[in-house]
Amino acid sequence: MNDTRCDRAPSVTRSSGLRFLLYGHDSWGLGHLRRNLNVATALTSTFPASDALVVTGSPCSTHFSIPSNVDLVKLPAVTKGVEGRYEPRTLSCSLEGLVELRRRILLETFRAFRPHLVIVDHQVAGFKGEVLDLLREAKASGVRTILGLRDIIDSPAAVARDWSSPGCRWALCKGYDRVCVYGDETVFDSRRHYPLLSRLGDRLEFTGYVVRPEKPRRLKPLPCLRPRVLVTTGGGEDGAGRIATYLEALALGRSRWDSTILTGPLLSAREARGIKRRARPLGVVDVRRFHADLPRLLQDADAVVSMAGYNTSAEILQSGKPAVFLPRTVPRREQEIRAGHLARLGLAASLVDPKPTELLRSVEKALTKKLLPESRPRLNGRERMCEIVHKVLSPAPRRLSVSA
């Protein structure tokens, strides 16, 4: 990148509100977008007259209601092909061309919006390094930067490999004023499993899990004679097999519960129609593509069958409802690791590629359990992030080195 133009960073002490730029690469699922919208909402609610701009590659960016003082910039989307390699989701250009387009959109958005703070979600250097130029320009112009990492990224070997590039190492060591782990070290201590994080010292903080505040019900729901099980697979792009196993479990005999199945908006229309056809003769099974308020559905459920993505797992912990996790193991082991740690703490059951009979027994057992104990992992990530942002934006006696 030869363009060294840097606008002077706005003063954070002036009377006008703060501006926050949040980036998420978003290839699969809904997790990064949901988390960034959650953090953006907390920031604009906490800091008066502030604005937040969320830059996302999610193909589902229009599925969520956008709160006041928050808006979105959509990057061209990527996905993973049949061989597990990234490729453009809809455009016919090369992957290299798409990454260059995304990098330019990111950089020009940063220059035009002139944020006081940039928060990067999960990908240390962005997708294929697309956020590195933005980070370097932010550091040169005095704009503060935070990296937000989910609690579990992948196996230690995979993370070490992903973080071995010079760009990632520069970003971790010098590109961010603070690194925030969106989790609780009592569940998974990232410093032990990802040694590079242990070198960050007091620049690294565990925030607790990021969840929305629970909304009190205005009206109490009518009592149900039968329990209800909620089945959800997040975005749904790779959830069809797990839903099929659940339907096979129901087909073993008349279950004593009703079911709500969220297929996910990224499941193909053909597969969604197939699931609805298979569900019709199996009792009371409500199949939906998408619901924007998963916490509300969790309140109504007596047990949950789910993949073990970050947001869904955290919201299940918040709800206190007993859960059976069906984690994926490829292309990353993140969900398998998270489900295993929560299972060892007695906070959920975890089944990797179960048979229908095994899943049926686990759901029946979950329905006999009471709510999870009050001593759950910390769920105050939103509030803690606002406190950290306040500290990061406070005047500092010195600036970090900007050399690579």
| Pair 177, 244 in one domain | no
| Pair 269, 206 in one domain | no
C-alpha span between 207 and 371 (Å, rounded): 24
Q: Among the listed ranges 26-40, 314-328, 335-349, 376-390, which one has the minimum average pLDDT value?
A: 26-40
- Distance separating the N- and C-terminal Cα atoms of the chain: 14
User: Residue 80 pLDDT > 90, yes or no?
Assistant: no
- Please say whether the beta carbons of 314 and 378 come within 8 A: no
| Pair 239, 142 in one domain | no
Residue range 305-355, pLDDT digits in tens: 999 999 999 999 999 999 999 999 988 899 999 999 999 999 999 999 999
Given this model, what pLDDT does residue 283 score?
Answer: 87
Whether 404 maps to a domain, the answer reads no
User: Residue 388 pLDDT > 90, yes or no?
Assistant: yes
User: Residue 55 pLDDT > 70, yes or no?
Assistant: yes
Given this model, what pLDDT does residue 67 score?
Answer: 87
Residue at 298: amino acid letter? L
User: Residue 362 pLDDT > 90, yes or no?
Assistant: yes
Whether 373 maps to a domain, the answer reads no
Whether 13 maps to a domain, the answer reads no
Whether 5 maps to a domain, the answer reads no
| Pair 160, 27 in one domain | yes
Look up the pTM and report it. Answer: 0.88
Beta bridge partners of 80: 86
Question: Mean pLDDT, to the nearest integer, of 379-384?
Answer: 96
Question: Mean pLDDT, to the nearest integer, of 16-31?
Answer: 81
| Pair 159, 256 in one domain | no
Whether 362 maps to a domain, the answer reads yes
Number of structural domains in the chain: 2
Edge-to-edge strands of the sheet including 285-288? 285-288, 258-262, 228-232, 303-306, 323-325, 349-350
User: Residue 12 pLDDT > 70, yes or no?
Assistant: no
| Pair 60, 182 in one domain | yes
- The domain that holds 273 is classified in CATH as 3.40.50.2000
Highest mean pLDDT among 281-285, 297-301, 323-327: 323-327
| Pair 111, 200 in one domain | yes
Tokens of 219: 């009206």
Question: Mean pLDDT, to the nearest integer, of 6-27?
Answer: 66
Given this model, what pLDDT does residue 403 score?
Answer: 31
C-alpha span between 239 and 311 (Å, rounded): 16
Question: Mean pLDDT, to the nearest integer, of 91-115?
Answer: 95
Given this model, what pLDDT does residue 392 score?
Answer: 97
Helices 132-140 and 95-113: crossing angle in degrees, nearest 10, is: 20
Whether 201 maps to a domain, the answer reads yes
| Pair 182, 42 in one domain | yes
- Please say whether the beta carbons of 17 and 51 come within 8 A: yes
Domain span at residue 351 reads 228-367
| Pair 270, 322 in one domain | yes
Q: Among the listed ranges 26-40, 111-125, 192-206, 277-291, which one has the minimum average pLDDT value?
A: 26-40
Question: Mean pLDDT, to the nearest integer, of 278-293?
Answer: 91
Q: Chain-wide mean pLDDT for the chain?
A: 89
| Pair 130, 253 in one domain | no
| Pair 197, 251 in one domain | no
Whether 1 maps to a domain, the answer reads no
Whether 143 maps to a domain, the answer reads yes
- Please say whether the beta carbons of 182 and 35 come within 8 A: yes
